[in-house]
Structure 1
């Protein structure tokens, strides 16, 4: 039988998080004596000293540091168990929050969402479109349940979803198309490149060739497409996002001698599959199926 309760471990962690017993009592609305008693019970049960007092500071001992790591794992797992139970108790979830990188093909996304909504008509879907690390940041901050991102997470589950093909393009009137020769990356340096910024607020990432001396940075791929169609620059864009512009001649592929096409990997990421409800799992199943169909075509 366990001699230390989860509540005692929680009080121990609160002392560390808030920087002392008095601060912890104010932070978690428990009396200072109850927190002292909880920590004392842990020390007595384990035969170790968790804290020392240095001046006016409460400092972890070496044993306390080790036990904090274990306590964090224990409390986090306990929270996950409760979350899974809550999901099971609720049955079908009422809301599904998805962060998806803007390079993911919209035709596939719309088809998946329509199929999910057909099976769960009362489901409210919140879709947040992101760039680069934006999806991961939202998932890490528990703002979404599922993320589709070009980068993986150190925590959670990441699985390969699909590859996205990019092509270097400019409008037919752009000077790069008037050179009547194969282009090199050196040729591009003197022309304006349109790039899309990372939507994450922290840990931003640059991606792709950024060698142009002139560069305009925008927040959305559609803005980049509109600018390039008007002859304001060039860029590498997802083929799936510019199919109509390529077919009607608004955009032409750059005649590069190499690197004219590029590919990016997208990952499907979620923290704990057991915490996802039936609607979320339906979304995952539909998404995998549609992306598999994309590969087979």
Structure 2
């Protein structure tokens, strides 16, 4: 039994077909098929069965999968540990962030980390919550900052992803300076319902707002955009009121010298926890352990 056979087995399970697994691994489909066949012969039972155009695990394959994944993860940790022993001052950290996380926090924490580990490279990856969780599980990302509600936290707990709340993302309303409500500093829920609301099209923040609004707002009373920047442009044209994370406002300095007015939410709030997340492992390189400590230490607020 060879390590590459176990990796091929895991990849076929992950991608659903030998063709897709071969493409992701940059090898030919016959090569991966041959190695899977040899693995099955050595074990003595079939591991896959056809289901339409895809293949699925047999009962024996389902039993084998967690054992294979544990071996592959242990080998990865071993390789990482050896690399750290040989090159203790070098390495790579892949940090995921989503748009509403406190991007003002990231540079501050990175500056602190770089003072200790100037030769460690940090790759910043912006993506959505679901994609980040998937990448953590697939070991193509090391740690991340995301916004999470109770559903996301439960999903992470079941998937073996640990989290620590480092901050929270409250919401504010944004109106054009020419809007009648611009003379106020706050907006009530009842007043908001009389306005066209501008929201980001999808994501955990939109999910939380939709849960809060329920049936209070009709679909034709909502504009949806792909980015917060577009939402602000619609507000600037006085096409409605945007509800955005307060961190987005502070990060991009929209409260300074702009044609918009920030209104605090008076009698309601939509809030998410900003969480630092990472996959549960038996071993972390020392530089990654310190990186995690720095990002979860909120003594500086």
TM-score range, shorter chain: 0.5 to 0.7
- Count of residue pairs brought into register by the alignment: 272
Q: 1:132-281 maps to which residues of 2 (within 5 A)? A: 132-151=129-148, 152=153, 153=156, 154-177=159-182, 183-185=188-190, 187-198=191-202, 206-209=207-210, 211=217, 213-243=220-250, 245-246=254-255, 250-253=260-263, 256=266, 258-259=267-268, 261-272=269-280, 276-281=284-289
The counterpart of 1:80, out of the listed 76, 79, 82, is: 76
RMSD: 4.4
Contact kept, 8 Å, 2:147 with 2:274, in 1: the verdict is yes
Deviation at residue 53 of structure 1 after TM alignment: 9.1
- Unaligned 5+ segments in structure 1 are 44-48
Instruction: From the superposition, tell whether residues 122 and 80 of structure 1 become closer, same or farther in structure 2 (CA, over 3 Å).
Output: closer
* TM-score for the superposition, normalised by structure 2: 0.67
SS in 1 for 2:208: coil
Q: Does 1:92 align with 2:89?
A: yes
Q: Does 1:285 align with 2:293?
A: yes
The corresponding residue for 2:112 is 115
Cα distance in 1, alignment partners of residues 185 and 116 from structure 2: 54
Contact kept, 8 Å, 2:100 with 2:245, in 1: the verdict is yes
Q: Work out which of the two has the higher radius of gyration on C-alpha atoms and give 1 or 2.
A: 1
The corresponding residue for 2:6 is 10
Deviation at residue 292 of structure 1 after TM alignment: 3.7
Q: Does 1:67 align with 2:74?
A: no
Cα distance in 1, alignment partners of residues 75 and 295 from structure 2: 28
- Unaligned 5+ segments in structure 2 are none
Instruction: From the superposition, tell whether residues 118 and 218 of structure 1 become closer, same or farther in structure 2 (CA, over 3 Å).
Output: farther
SS in 2 for 1:253: strand
